[in-house]
Amino acid sequence: MNETREKLIDVAYEEIYEFGYYATSVDKILKKANMNKGSMYHFFKSKKELGLAVINERIKKYTSDKYTKLTECEKNIIDELLKLLRKRDSFDFKLGCKINNLVQELSPKDDDFKKALEQVYLLFESLIEKTLENAVKAGEIEYEDTRKLAIYVVASIEGCLITAKKSQDGQMFYDCLSQLEFFLNSLKK
């Protein structure tokens, strides 16, 4: 991959995460990346195309990298899921969730962004579903519809994150997460 293109995506990712898509200008991204407009337009036709690259190449990868390892667990699967969610360094309670922020900002306004973000959510849900299926197969939990359960788990995680963001308090995340933990533990055999 081209280093200039990667740097543009990385800087755009950071800026969009911190300030939002609409509040982030191309000029701001270029200044922070120490590049000119020609560099950007060589790789991306527009700010929107750069934003879609952020979603498809950074946020989707982040989600995959973070949750795929859960699908490889063979024992203590629910405990491993909960352990991953409790890792404080993986969440920014001030800025909130990378996916959810963009869903709230962009999905109602642009169909291309909506579709790209939905693909990330579907990936997230499918990784959690596979994890839950493995827990059922391993005899750790009993549940019939792991797809619906995965949607619930993802929604709970996202809800806990937005609750922490609105309070700017990580403890709110853990208090909320404790209820998801209680529920998942109640499914154990």
Helix (H, G, I), strand (E, B) or coil at 73: coil
pLDDT average, residue stretch 112-119: 98
pLDDT tens-place string over residues 7-42: 999 999 999 999 999 999 999 999 999 999 998 999
At 84 the pLDDT is 93
Please tell me the distance from the alpha carbon of residue 163 to that of residue 156, in angstroms, as a whole number.
Answer: 10
pLDDT band at 94 (very low <50, low <70, confident <90, very high): confident
* pTM for this predicted structure: 0.93
- Would you say residue 130 lies in a domain? yes
At 90 the pLDDT is 67
At 39 the pLDDT is 87
Mean pLDDT (the chain, rounded): 94
Helix (H, G, I), strand (E, B) or coil at 141: strand
- Would you say residue 87 lies in a domain? yes
- Would you say residue 28 lies in a domain? no
Question: Contact, 147 vs 128, CB < 8 A?
Answer: no
- Would you say residue 3 lies in a domain? no
The residue type at 127: L
- Would you say residue 175 lies in a domain? yes
Q: Which residues of 118-148 are buried (b: 16+ CB within 10 A; e: fewer)?
A: eebbebbbebbbbbbbbbbeeebbeeeebee
- Would you say residue 44 lies in a domain? no
Q: Could you tell me the CA-to-CA distances from 82 to 88, 115, 153, 180 in Å, in that order?
A: 12, 29, 11, 9
Q: Which range of residues forms the domain containing residue 97?
A: 56-186
Domain total of the chain:
1
Residue 88 has pLDDT above 80, yes or no: no
Question: Contact, 152 vs 53, CB < 8 A?
Answer: no
